[in-house]
Amino acid sequence: MDRTQILSIRLVMGIAIGAVIAAPVVAAPAQKPISYAEQIRPILQAKCIQCHAEKSQKAELNLGSADGIRQGSESGAVLVAGKPDESRLLEVLLEGEMPPEGEGDRLSDDEIELIRRWIEQGGDFGTDTTGPQAALSQHDVIPILLLRCAACHGRQNQEGGLDLRTKASMLKGGKSGPAIVAGKPDQSLLITKIQSEQMPPRDKLATHSVKPVESSELQTLVRWIEQGAPEIDISPDVATAEPDPLVSDEDRRFWSFRPPRRPDIPTPDRSAQPTNEVRNPIDVFVLSRLDETGLGWSPPASKAVLLRRASLDLLGLPPEPEQIDAFLADDRPDVYERMVDRLLASPLYGERWGQSWLDLAGYCDSEGVQHSDPVRPHAYRYRDYVIRSFNADKPYDRFLLEQIAGDELADYEHAEAITEEIYDNLVATGFLRMPADGTFAGITGFVPNRLDVIDDQVRILSSAVLGLTLRCARCHSHKFDPFPQRDYYRLVALLKPAMDEHDWLKPTTGGAGNAAGNYRFLPFVTTGERQAWERHEQQITAGIDRLKAELEQHSGDEKFQEEIEQKVKAAESQRQPEPLIRALWDRGQPSPTYLLQRGDYLHSGRLVGPGVPSVLTDGQTPFRPEPPWAGSTKTGNRLAFARWLTQPNHPLTSRVMVNRIWKHHFGRGIVETLDDFGRAGSPPTHPELLDWLAVEFVDNGWSIKHLHRLIMTSATYRQSSAVQPRHLESDPENRLLSRMPVRRMEAEVIRDSLLAISGRLDLTPFGPADGVEARDDGLVVSKPGPTGWRRSIYVQKRRTQRLTILDDFDRPQMSPNCVLRTSSTVAPQALHLMNNAMIHELSLSLADRLLASFPEEEERQLESLLRLTTGRPSEDELPVLSESRNQLRTEWHARLSAEDSSSDAMELSREANRRALGNVCHALMNSAAFLYID
């Protein structure tokens, strides 16, 4: 039975009950009109007003006045005159949803029936207000004009000199005169042009992503002008010194909404732990939980296992054989700590950990949405920025500040020179430009499409940085957490000076090189890069000028002319596109932000200003953005937001990040739901450890490398991954960290490691992405350079062409980002490793590498192979490999001599040997010992 059926049955019952109880009334020949003022208002005042008054407005609903009832709630209209079964007000009463359990007395059946009949009779408010139609204001018409007219009469264009964004500008009008005449709709050009279907012009609808004015919208415009185009002065709802009535102090006491506090380090019972030393406070916290269950740590893993674990964790690449030998031979007491430091200092680290941040940001090298899936040629600068930031151990607070408000940190437009720092600041804002975005095309560039892009961005911010599920509040107040709907729109308002659906910047130039116009590119690359490019272009221009001058001297000589033209063409092809930054910046003068009922762009509610979720503040500190520097036209919205976010005692920022780092090392977060620290999320398994790490993180300058070092040098991290029967009994899911988990390499790590051990990995960092190619059979492959393939982070991430090997091994799709990767074990992975031509080619490269390193030393070749692939100098597998190799060699020899009996016997043996070793390498590439991390 669906909802409408339930409703109708309840309605029938309601009517029946009403009929019995209110029989005398019903029996009366003429139904007496029900008075809002005398009969309905008292009920609402008694039973509903507690939560739905002018001030509190829970669910954005004010039942305290006729206007409030007409305005509806965050879910839209609550009263549909004459139609009780379509009125949400009645539905929630009949379904028993309201008043909520334990929050006030239910309405009696009589009262509900009275309301039903009142609605049935037309829901008239009598003399309570100005009549059935409420007074309108500019806030009823501005959303319509922005939606239907601002594309040509707004911020970016004022066709005919007309700007329709404010009443003043409407009165001022354009070339044809004022757009409105107060009180006279039929003399207002605004109305007559729309009525005659001249506006919006039919031939511009598609190109400007505008829909015609709806008749109900036209009526609103007419009525507003009829009423004299009244304006009212309401200030947007921003956080003020007065606490938000919808968020209580009790809400603020939820664990993750309170600032973390450095806890005391417990004293564990040392007798329970005979094998491992406690190495740092992490161990004490972990051990104290393990002690509770009688479980201890697992024994420490071997040195070889630790080296491989640490290398793959930090660099995403296995250790080289020489590194293994050196590490195993080194018996200094701090050899492990030195190794961790060496890995942290490697430039390969940023390429591994940068990827985890790019997952959060939703990084892609194309726009998606449309079939054409346009490439983002400038996006790589952001990717490089992230890698460099991780390598430099940029403090996390600074890292966030740059990505959220980099454009408000320095006056780049008036800077004498664009320094590396200014450049980085601007590139960093690419973080806010990552969602799939079809607004480059008119047909997928309408206002609702733009709102979806903004929504994705809010979602990225809230899931990645805040660890919250704020997007629920786009359509309604959050069901579990104390986020009223306005909290969502406050964030939207905060972004609006840079992301304004009524003043939209398109994501691509559609292939044209010139980025002038309303696109998302800034030319402020470093002065050095800019000058180098300009010099380069000037040289080409000068060269071409010379050629043309020569041509003039030899006019008439056709052959010579052709030759020169060829040379000019060749010179032109050397031109480089202008270096640009794909950025986001505050442009001042944002459109007003209205709360949208049910998230529907056609139903604007109250005016909202920038702010942060109230529950994360004390409720009494106003959110006050200020222009970032004197004379700036920027609002400073995002700067204020970023500064709030990176306060040392912010309840979420540090906790969310340390939890994420922890997850990448241990396979599970202390809070398992990495993107939900709210009430519906998982509670932390080790709350004190989480807080200790968070405070330690901030106290050490938000250093991510400090966290890695702490975690990786703990005894907890150094445990063996062997599962013991007692683990299955007391800690089956390893929530208590009684061992390390066995993990499969992530997609990029598999590909990079295969390339690395084969000697085919090109370690050139940075720069434009390497192209991919979709073969006819559907396989998507990356194009190699002269010395091999680059790391996966440098391969183009096109939404429509996903590299097959990464796809097969669970590289996530961005929708809009990925907070937590899943890992599957399926047959296509086996098929890929067994049958794919590139893997096969790599196995032969690996064989060649081994043969070249240890000519004639078969055992050392195999030993080295084991070291490369599994990190262990394991003795007992050698005979197995050796035996197979001999069999394979015999098989290859027979095959090769059958194919070509004429060739040199030596040559044939060599090739059979090479092929056989290639097969052994291929087998190791297919082995769990290679793909899994102990």
Which is closer to other proteins, CB of 118 or CB of 809?
809
Other beta carbons less than 10 A from residue 779's beta carbon: 15
Residue closer to other proteins (CB basis): 139 or 204: 204
- What are the C-alpha distances in Å from 364 to residues 171, 783, 795? 46, 18, 10
**φ/ψ (deg, to 5) at 174:** -130, -150
CB of 724 to other proteins, least distance (A): 8
Q: Which of residues 639-668 bind other proteins (CB under 8 A)?
A: 663, 666-668
Nearer to other proteins, 393 or 481 (CB): 481
Site for other proteins in 438-457 (CB under 8 A): 438, 443-444, 449, 452, 456
- By C-beta, is 635 or 919 nearer to other proteins? 919
Would you count residue 434 as binding other proteins (CB under 8 A)? Answer: no
Q: How far apart are CA 631 and CA 588, in angstroms?
A: 12
Interface of this chain with other proteins, residues 841 to 860, rule: CB under 8 A: 841
**What residues numbered 551-570 form the site for other proteins, per CB under 8 A?**
none
Residues 582-621 that bind other proteins (CB under 8 A): none
Which one, 516 or 680, has the nearer CB to other proteins?
680
Residue linked to tokens 């190619």: 773
For other proteins, give the closer residue by CB, 79 or 912: 912
Cα(409)–Cα(412) distance, rounded to whole angstroms? 9
Query: At what angle are helices 348-361 and 303-314 packed, to 10 degrees?
Result: 50
Question: In the range 271-290, which residues lie near other proteins by CB under 8 A?
Answer: none
Angle at 16 between CA 11 and CA 19, to 5 degrees: 120
From residue 796, how far is each of 20, 217, 365, 742 by CA, in Å?
Answer: 72, 45, 6, 30
Query: CB 320 → other proteins: shortest distance, Å?
Result: 22
- Report the residue number, 369 or 769, with the smaller CB distance to other proteins: 369
228: how many CB neighbours lie within 10 A of its CB? 11
* Nearer Cβ to other proteins (515/920): 920
CA distances from 848 to 50, 686, 855, 861, 929 (A): 79, 50, 10, 10, 22
Q: Could you tell me if 535 and 542 are in contact, meaning their C-beta atoms sit under 8 angstroms apart?
A: no
Using the contact rule CB under 8 A, the part of the chain among 155-163, 172-180, 545-553, 825-833 near other proteins is 825-833
Q: Does 575 bind other proteins (CB under 8 A)?
A: no
Of 85, 109, 251, 373, the residue at the interface with other proteins (CB under 8 A) is 373
Footprint on residues 206-245 left by other proteins (CB under 8 A): 206, 211-212, 214
Spatial contact of 456 and 223, defined as CB atoms under 8 Å apart: no
Query: Of residues 86, 320, 563, 672, which one binds other proteins by CB under 8 A?
Result: 672
Task: For other proteins, give the closer residue by CB, 702 or 809.
Answer: 809
Q: Which long-range contacts (CB under 8 A, 24 or more apart) does 462-465 make?
A: 462/491, 463/360, 463/675, 463/817, 463/819, 464/360, 464/361, 464/675, 464/817, 464/819, 465/400, 465/645, 465/653, 465/656
Q: Does 919 bind other proteins (CB under 8 A)?
A: yes
* Integer Cα distance of 239 and 121 in angstroms: 40
The total number of residues written for the chain in this structure: 934
Q: What is the DSSP letter of 427?
A: H
Residue 373: CB minimum distance to other proteins, A = 8
Considering only residues 10, 459, 634, 705, which one is a binding residue for other proteins as defined by CB under 8 A?
A: 459
Residue pair 59/74 in contact by the 8 Å Cβ criterion: yes
Q: Site for other proteins (CB under 8 A): which residue of 825, 875, 902, 906?
A: 825
The correct pick among 316, 651, 669, 871 for binding other proteins (CB under 8 A) is 669
DSSP class of residue 81 equals T
Site membership for other proteins, residue 198 (CB under 8 A)? no
**Residues 713-732 within binding reach of other proteins (CB under 8 A):** 721-723, 725, 727-728, 732
Minimum separation from the CB atom of position 445 to other proteins (A): 10
Written as six digits, the tokens of 235 are 């200030």
Site string for other proteins, 736-765 (x = CB under 8 A): -----xxxx---------------------
Is 834 an interacting residue with respect to other proteins (CB under 8 A)?
yes
Work out whether 528 is an interface residue with other proteins (CB under 8 A). Answer: no
Q: How many chain residues interact with other proteins (CB under 8 A)? A: 115
**Residue in the block written with tokens 């700590």:** 337
Task: Report which DSSP code applies to 470.
Answer: G
Give, as one character, the DSSP assignment of residue 147: H
> Residue 827 or residue 906: which is nearer to other proteins going by CB?
827
Q: Can residue 472 be called a binding residue for other proteins (CB under 8 A)? A: yes
Type of residue at 89: L
Pull the structure tokens for residue 324: 């293994």
Residue 587 corresponds to which tokens in the numbers above? Answer: 């442009």
Q: How far apart are the first and last CA of the chain?
A: 52
| Token pair for 224 | 């507003």
Q: Given the complex with other proteins, which of 280 and 721 has the nearer CB atom?
A: 721
Q: Which is nearer to other proteins, 41 or 471 (CB)?
A: 471
Among 20, 542, 680, 852, interactor with other proteins by CB under 8 A:
680
Helix, strand and coil in the chain, % to nearest 5: 50, 5, 45
DSSP state of 788: B
Binding status of residue 12 toward other proteins by CB under 8 A: no
> What is the DSSP secondary structure assignment for residue 39, as one 8-state letter?
I
Span of 128-136, 490-498, 578-586, 815-823 interacting with other proteins by CB under 8 A: 815-823
Check binding of 9 to other proteins (CB under 8 A). Answer: no
Give me the 877-916 binding string for other proteins, x by CB under 8 A, dash otherwise: x--xx--x--xx--xx--x-------------------x-
Which among 107-115, 379-387, 467-475, 585-593 is the span making contact with other proteins, rule CB under 8 A?
A: 467-475
Residue pair 50/64 in contact (Cβ under 8 Å)? The answer is: no
Beta bridge partners of 81: none
- The answer to whether residue 354 forms part of the interface with other proteins (CB under 8 A) is no
| Sole binder of other proteins in the list 65, 240, 323, 927 (CB under 8 A) | 927
797: number of Cβ within 10 Å = 23
Instruction: With beta carbons less than 8 A apart as the criterion, state whether 343 and 310 touch.
Output: yes
- The reply on whether position 346 binds other proteins by CB under 8 A is no
* Interacting residue with other proteins among 411, 563, 762, 807 (CB under 8 A): 807
Q: Is 168 in the site for other proteins (CB under 8 A)?
A: no
Asked if residue 318 lies in contact with residue 866, where contact means CB atoms within 8 angstroms, the answer is no
Residue 570 or residue 728: which is nearer to other proteins going by CB?
728
Q: Which of 50, 220, 227, 836 binds other proteins (CB under 8 A)?
A: 836
Stretch of 288-296, 436-444, 645-653, 706-714 contacting other proteins, by CB under 8 A: 436-444
Among residues 291, 500, 675, 863, the one that binds other proteins under rule CB under 8 A: 675
Nearest distance from residue 565's CB to other proteins, in Å? 35
Query: Is 251 among the residues that bind other proteins (CB under 8 A)?
Result: no
- Read off the DSSP letter of residue 40: I
Sites for other proteins among residues 477-506 (CB under 8 A): 480
Q: How far is the CB of 868 from other proteins (least distance, A)?
A: 14
Provide φ and ψ at 595, rounded to 5°: -65, 140
Binding segment for other proteins among 261-269, 307-315, 362-370, 544-552 (CB under 8 A)? 362-370
Phi, psi of 743 (to 5 degrees): -130, 150
